[in-house]
Amino acid sequence: MKNETAEQATKLQSYIDSSKRIVFFGGAGVSTESGIPDFRSKDGLYNQKWDWPPEEILSADFFFANTAEFYRFYREKLLVSGIKPNAAHYKLAELEQAGKLSAVITQNIDGLHQAAGSKNVLELHGSTLRNFCTKCSKPFDASYISSHQDEKGIPRCDKCGGLIKPDVVLYGESLNQDTISRAIDALQKADMLIIGGTSLTVYPAAGRINYFSGNKLVLINKAATQSDGIATLVIHDSIGKVLGRIAI
């Protein structure tokens, strides 16, 4: 694996210095550096042994047909606590505060970008921090999911008794169209796109980068991606280490 070189660091810094509307598109690799497990690596959730494949458990059909088992998996693997933002999250928030970064588009559902201070975060796959009653739409936070459940382990609405569902996009569900529209608008207006911590294999989310038409496309990922060939700068290294060195 090729680590970041001095030449690459200088080029990245010059790109950022000369840009006014940067968009960051990030994936699981941004959160793994905070200790959150990913899905597709050899030690990821999709390669662990469960009674059902995780892809099936995390589907809308499974959620409604086998809610108790869904929540057993969800609480153990997706509801994380004590996790803090890392250098990448904090640097992106600094770039936004400096007027350089216009949007963070993320495939992650952990809320770490907001915890670091980012304001314009477009969560393509939703967030574990938000939950709602499927009957009356009352919102609930993540702590309610952890502490309130019936005898089967299913969280119920304290207003109407309805089933509570996490505000995450499950397999078989469509992405939120408002979020998609805002992401496309940000990409179309961007003069620089930084893609970090993603292999760009999760669709339809990964396909959104095609809306970027600027001339500075930077890919930062520990492993090669299928889009390395179209980037103006590729860095195979830790996203936290690379972004953490950026001067603002």
DSSP the chain: -PPPPHHHHHHHHHHHHT-SSEEEEE-HHHHHTTT---SSSTTSGGGS--SS-HHHHTBHHHHHHSHHHHHHHHHHHT---S----HHHHHHHHHHHTT-EEEEEES--S-HHHHHT-S-EEETTEEEEEEEETTT--EE-HHHHHH---TTS--B-TTT-PBEEEEE--BTSPPPHHHHHHHHHHHHH-SEEEEES--S-STTGGGGGGG---S-EEEE-SS--TTGGG-SEEE-S-HHHHHHT---
The whole-chain average pLDDT of the chain stands at 90
Least-confidence region, from 33-47, 152-166, 182-196: 33-47
Mean pLDDT of 53-63: 93
Residues of the chain with CATH 3.40.50.1220: 1-36+84-125+175-248
Q: Which CATH number fits the domain 1-36+84-125+175-248, given the four candidates 3.40.50.1220, 3.40.50.740, 3.30.479.30, 3.40.50.300?
A: 3.40.50.1220
Residue 1: pLDDT above 80? no
Find the mean pLDDT for residues 39-64: 74
Q: Is 125 a catalytic residue?
A: yes
Q: In the CATH scheme, what is the homologous superfamily, with its name and number, of domain 39-79+128-168?
A: SIR2/SIRT2 'Small Domain' (3.30.1600.10)
Q: Which of 89, 113, 125, 236 is catalytic?
A: 125
Across residues 40-49, what is the average pLDDT?
52
Ranges for all domains in the chain classified under CATH 3.30.1600.10: 39-79+128-168
Q: Stretch 30-38: mean pLDDT, rounded? A: 87
pLDDT tens digits for 176-210? 999 999 999 999 999 999 999 987 766 565 577 88
Q: Which of the residue ranges 41-55, 146-160, 173-187 has the most confident prediction, judged by mean pLDDT?
A: 173-187
Query: What is the pLDDT averaged over residues 134-143?
Result: 96
